[in-house]
Structure 1
Amino acid sequence: MHYDLTDLRLFVAIAEAQNLTRGAERAHLAPSSASHRMRLLEAGIGTSLLLRQARGVVLTRAGEVLLRHSRQVLAQLEQLHADLAPYAEGVRGHVSLWANTHATHSFLPDDLADFLRRYPQVSVTLAEHTSPEIVMAIARGEVEVGVVAERVAGADVEMIPYRADRLVLIAPVAHPLAACASVRFGEVLDHPFVMLHAGSAIHTFTMNAAAALGRHINVRIQVRSFDAVCRMVGAGVGVGLVPRSALSRGEREQSPSVVELDESWAQRDLQVCVRKRKDLSGFAAALVNGLVERQT
């Protein structure tokens, strides 16, 4: 059975309008032509798709199945057009990259800029997710390259060292914790926090770390960047957790004090995550190579 895209679009339009004439208008076809196409479609499938009634049409069970699949096919076709558009514009390669908050707000901007300068024919889509979400998406083959700070048990992926970093506590210079050489996370939870926005990977990670201790975080304000966290903490709003790599970006006249966090999970070494490095597409492999060669 051959399915014509015009027929599928027409069928969806009729089903949504619940009327053959209005559906034909939406599909820019004459009602007689639309009716003929629907009869041929039903004949080809071998069953009725529409029940004609005085006030319009309703779908049969087979029609409901065809509607669901038609919408999926047409949506995939639209996505196909979107994915191919960069090639028509002269971009000959595309890589989808998922990364956690830590990476997207620290090392990745400079490293990706360097990669894109070296490969002007490539475009990159960067999306922020938590490390577990990224690892599972890589394992399922939904995305080729990820940058994460933790493994997920049972995930069949390869991890390649990328950047070494560590979460530290920052506090206003006059804060009671500012004079400490190091602190446990549980001690920090007695104080108000400046945090990245809800939905960011590091926000989720920090909330989960507090929940593991049976504690809650007193969030005074949520901001959009590590730079803003550093500014707010320096101004005395509260304490915060940031990667050490973010400190130079956040230093201002009111620079916060930096205190080591005495927790094993504070070591947040970033790794590039792929399903199988040897099976990567050409430009994805080039991106991975470009990132790992900057390993520190």
Structure 2
Amino acid sequence: MRFDLVDLRLFLAVAESGSITAGAEQVHLALASASARIRGMEDVLGVPLLRRDRRGVEPTDAGRTLLHHARVITQQMQRMRADMGQHASGLTGQIRVLCNTSALAEFLPDALAGFMASHPQVNIDLEERLSYDIVQAMRDGLADIGVIADSVDYSGLQTFPFRDDQLVLAMSPSHPLAMQLKRRRSAAFDEAVAYEFIGLAGDSALQKYVAEQAAKTGKRLAYRVRLRSLDAVCRMAAGGAGVAVLPESVVLRAQGAMAIRHVKLTDGWAVRKLLICVRDLDTLPGYARELVTSLQPR
């Protein structure tokens, strides 16, 4: 079996992007050359590595096995470069981080900015996903670090504390739901589902999470508008356009600039602990291990 590092980097890029064309561009190969390399790996192994359809490609079971080993090998190469960095100049590291909506919007920007300021040689590839998608990607070796909610099964991964994340109902003080709740500071999600909602765009991890919780009760939420940012949703809710499900930290930050009321959701799914997860901390490059340490509460 003969695979070189270009083959492995290509296969990782194709699997992560879901496209041979996009993967080839990432590793600076012509499409024909990339396709030939993928076919060559499949011929050597005697099994298909990718499942192809009109939407793109995804790894087969054999492809997932190769992904794991390819990820380990490339991580070892990154770790070697980082460890040799003290002896050479101009070397850079790359950390792939997957996170859910709350982590991306509320907690990670400041934490990552501080780390990157003190580590100018490190670049971070940050992507938002659902927590259970992050867990699967981590198990498959498709990312270095994940930030997930503890509501998913993360068995097999090493985890470390990150932040607490309380979801709340947010609305204008004059909204009918606010009138219904009177002075109450908490409410069940079921008390709000009859009202119109303001939400995030459909590809948001938080939006999908809330929709899943509604579906479990047999309800489908009615949305007046969907926006791209939590701050925009907060402003619309304060303006009386509808009810929103938001992280409490978002609403608390906004209260100094607008009149907005919030009540804590009492449902179990609304009280989440955010966790940092990795496959194996000891196999990560030194700079990635430093990032895991810096993200934990002090």
Give, in whole Å, the separation in 2 of the partners of 1:198 and 1:127.
15
- Letter paired with 2:293: N
Shift of 1:253: 4.4
Shift of 1:277: 1.9
Give, in whole Å, the separation in 2 of the partners of 1:154 and 1:254.
38
Give, in whole Å, the separation in 2 of the partners of 1:282 and 1:2.
29
Larger radius of gyration: 1
Q: Is the 8 A contact 2:135 2:154 kept in 1?
A: no
The answer for the alignment partner of 2:280 in structure 1 is: 276
Equivalent in 199, 205, 213 of residue 201 of structure 1: 205
Give, in whole Å, the separation in 1 of the partners of 2:215 and 2:169.
18
TM-score, structure 2 normalization: 0.68
Deviations 1:103-161 (A, max 9, x none): 00001011110110111111000001000000111112111100011354374111111
SS of aligned partner of 2:291: helix
The answer for the alignment partner of 1:184 in structure 2 is: 188
Equivalent in 242, 246, 270 of residue 266 of structure 1: 270
Equivalent in 207, 215, 224 of residue 211 of structure 1: 215
Give, in whole Å, the separation in 2 of the partners of 1:215 and 1:101.
22
Are 2:164 and 1:160 equivalent residues in the alignment? no
- Aligned identity (percent) is 35
SS of aligned partner of 2:203: coil
Give, in whole Å, the separation in 1 of the partners of 2:91 and 2:254.
35
SS of aligned partner of 1:173: coil
- Please list every run of 5 or more consecutive structure 2 residues that lacks an aligned counterpart in the other structure: 7-29, 44-73, 79-84
The answer for the alignment partner of 1:125 in structure 2 is: 125
The answer for the alignment partner of 1:20 in structure 2 is: none
Give, in whole Å, the separation in 2 of the partners of 1:166 and 1:244.
6
- Letter paired with 1:175: H
Q: Is the 8 A contact 1:167 1:241 kept in 2?
A: yes
TM-score, structure 1 normalization: 0.69
Give, in whole Å, the separation in 2 of the partners of 1:233 and 1:154.
34
| CA shift in 2, pair 1:2/1:159, >3 Å | closer
- Letter paired with 1:69: R
**Aligned Cα root-mean-square deviation (Å):** 3.2
Q: Is the 8 A contact 1:136 1:155 kept in 2?
A: no
The answer for the alignment partner of 2:82 in structure 1 is: none
The answer for the alignment partner of 1:174 in structure 2 is: 174
SS of aligned partner of 1:107: helix
Give, in whole Å, the separation in 1 of the partners of 2:110 and 2:156.
29
Give the paired residue count. 227
